[in-house]
Amino acid sequence: MKDKMTWEETIEFIRTKPEFAVLVDKAYFDADLPVNVEKFKQSEEFVEILALIKQYAPNAKTLLDIGSGNGISSISFAINAYEVDTVEPDSSETIGAGAIRKLKNYYKLDNIKIYEAFAEEIKFPDNSFDIVFARQCMHHAYDLNKFVAESSRVLKPGGLFMTVRDHVIYNETDKKWFLDNHPLQKFYGGENAFTNNEYTNAINKAGLDLKLTLKHFDSVINFFPLTSAEKKIKEKEFELLVQSIAQKKIGLLYKLSFVKTIVDKIVKSKLNNPFNEESIPGRMYTYLAIKK
Ligand SMILES: C[S@@+](CC[C@H](N)C(=O)[O-])C[C@H]1O[C@@H](n2cnc3c(N)ncnc32)[C@H](O)[C@@H]1O
């Protein structure tokens, strides 16, 4: 018996297990492929991705989506009128290139082409695309520098390289903590993560000018499935908790605003702040860079 499942086997397995129902829903792993697309294209995350693209690449028409999995982003971009090429090394009909082909037919799209390849081995000519996009994929690179260099090579000068939701680790101990906590790692063993330095060095070396790094709590793109509204409520709850502890500690003095500021700060530093990205194993970052 194999000790690990493939990615496809893992997803098919968790679809049958009620304890993974929330993950299947939030990670867009439904067996009914259009259900995933419909949810993703209306998500706060995708709305924010489109807004950033409009800001950094307002005239873009052609887009390469790398490691597109079951096609949620590729199909959503195509529905939004981009000319999409998509590369996905996994041929699976439920979680890979085969799934994207089914969705292309389902949505009757003629503006999407599907290829099976690793990012490090894409065959497109130099300067082909206005945008190279990758969601939750760059951290799977088997050669990070090559992954980014190839993405840069196929981008037109001035084009946008946008990677979203890549796992960031601080060091090897932190990486182990991330892998030990990943819900699917024990089944398929294919998870990975790099440090912020490794990502940014790869971006710089590839002739890309890094314009924006969004850390985990900077954008709903990264902190989804938490919504912006839920995040606001949780922030308020944390603020109120800090204030009630601080007030109990110093009583009436808490009415003095400069004292309040200092004591709040001390109490906050002693509590487990849920919005400290260090408390999230493999917290996610988004990078936007322009080809020089
Ligand atoms: C976590 S999934 C993300 C899929 C999709 N982008 C999404 O957001 O739903 C990572 C995908 O990257 C693909 N992948 C792994 N290594 C890759 C590489 N070196 N180049 C391109 N894609 C890769 C996997 O086959 C998988 O479909």
Q: Whose CA is nearest to atom 27 of ligand 1?
A: 69
Our answer on whether the CB atom of 90 is closer than 6 Å to any ligand 1 atom is yes
Question: Does residue 2 have a pLDDT over 90?
Answer: no
Q: Does a structural domain hold residue 1?
A: no
Q: Does a structural domain hold residue 193?
A: yes
| Residue 291 alpha carbon to ligand 1 centre in Å | 22
Cross-sheet strand order for the sheet of 83-87: 112-115, 83-87, 62-66, 129-135, 155-167, 284-291, 208-214
Helix (H) or strand (E) holding 240: helix 228-250
Give CA–CA dist 10/234, Å, rounded: 32
Atom of ligand 1 nearest to the CA of 118: 20
**pLDDT value at position 23?**
97
* Residue 250 domain boundaries: 228-270
Do 234 and 287 share a domain, yes or no?
Answer: no
Work out whether strand 129-135 and strand 208-214 pair parallel, antiparallel, or are unpaired.
unpaired
Strand partners, 26: none
Cβ distance 77 to 65 under 8 Å? yes
Our answer on whether the CB atom of 142 is closer than 6 Å to any ligand 1 atom is yes
Read off the pLDDT of each residue in 188-212 and give the average, rounded to a whole number: 98
Question: Does residue 213 have a pLDDT over 80?
Answer: yes
Our answer on whether the CB atom of 284 is closer than 6 Å to any ligand 1 atom is no
Closest CA to 147 of 73, 202, 214: 202
**pLDDT value at position 273?**
87
Do 285 and 255 share a domain, yes or no?
Answer: no
Question: Does residue 110 have a pLDDT over 80?
Answer: yes
| Residue 136 alpha carbon to ligand 1 centre in Å | 7
pLDDT in tens, 3-33: 899 999 999 999 999 999 999 999 999 999 9
Domain CATH number, residue 83: 3.40.50.150
Atom of ligand 1 nearest to the CA of 96: 27
Tokens 């790692």, residue? 185
Do 34 and 162 share a domain, yes or no?
Answer: yes
Q: Does a structural domain hold residue 2?
A: no
Strand partners, 84: 63, 112
Question: Does residue 215 have a pLDDT over 60?
Answer: yes
Number of H helices, E strands in the chain: 13, 7
Do 117 and 207 share a domain, yes or no?
Answer: yes
Question: Does residue 272 have a pLDDT over 90?
Answer: no
Number of other residues whose CB lies within 10 A of the CB of residue 62? 17
Q: Whose CA is nearest to atom 8 of ligand 1?
A: 135
| Residue 204 alpha carbon to ligand 1 centre in Å | 22
Our answer on whether the CB atom of 191 is closer than 6 Å to any ligand 1 atom is no
Amino acid at 86: T
**pLDDT value at position 156?**
98
Percent share of the chain, pLDDT over 70: 99
Give CA–CA dist 118/162, Å, rounded: 17
Our answer on whether the CB atom of 69 is closer than 6 Å to any ligand 1 atom is yes
* Overall domain count for the chain: 2
Do 124 and 96 share a domain, yes or no?
Answer: yes
Tokens 């290829």, residue? 115
| Residue 137 alpha carbon to ligand 1 centre in Å | 4
Q: What is the DSSP string of 63-110?
A: EEEES-TTSHHHHHHHHTT-EEEEE-S---TTTSHHHHHHHHHHTT-S
Quickly state the pLDDT bin for 43 (edges 50, 70, 90). Answer: very high
Q: Show the tokens assigned to 187.
A: 């089944």
Pocket test for ligand 1, best of 24, 73, 140, 188 (most atoms within 8 A of CB): 140
Read off the pLDDT of each residue in 31-42 and give the average, rounded to a whole number: 98
Give CA–CA dist 172/189, Å, rounded: 16
Quickly state the pLDDT bin for 1 (edges 50, 70, 90). Answer: low
pLDDT in tens, 70-95: 999 999 999 999 999 999 999 999 99
Do 74 and 56 share a domain, yes or no?
Answer: yes
Helix (H) or strand (E) holding 45: helix 44-56
